[in-house]
Amino acid sequence: MAHSGEKAVSGVRSGLISLGEDVTWRAWHFGFPLRMTSRVTHLDAPDFFVDEQVRGPFRWFRHVHEFSEDAETHDTTMIDRIEFTAPCGPLGRLVEKLVLARYLRQLIERRNRYLVGDHPA
């Protein structure tokens, strides 16, 4: 994720992450340096896992990763579901609707294109 300088800086930084483990990310978004620590709170390999923010910029953040395999082609499809609440009460809810929801969707789509090798991040 070169455009945001995103980098894992502590916790699990390589290999597979397991239930209860954390990873802390550092990145630049909206011109600000941000850190977010997420913990894997649910894991049912190989079908899905859930990570949730334990420290970071959101009031609440939950990311569900669901995986399914096509029986004929053996291609894997991943579906991301993001749920979040911005800080700052009513102002945060306005920012969620006007900016954050679209920004996060585009960020996840860009990351997924990178993961499958379609485009540089």
Cis geometry, peptide bond prior to residue 46 (ω within 30 degrees of 0): yes
CA distance 33 to 51: 21
Could you state, in order of their start, the residue ranges of all structural domains in the chain? 7-115
Rounded to two decimals, the pTM is: 0.86
Share of the chain above pLDDT 90, in %: 78
Which pLDDT tens digit goes with each residue over 43-52?
999 999 999 9
| Domain 7-115: CATH superfamily, name plus number | START domain (3.30.530.20)
Single-letter code of the amino acid located at 75: D
Which pLDDT tens digit goes with each residue over 103-120?
999 999 988 888 787 765
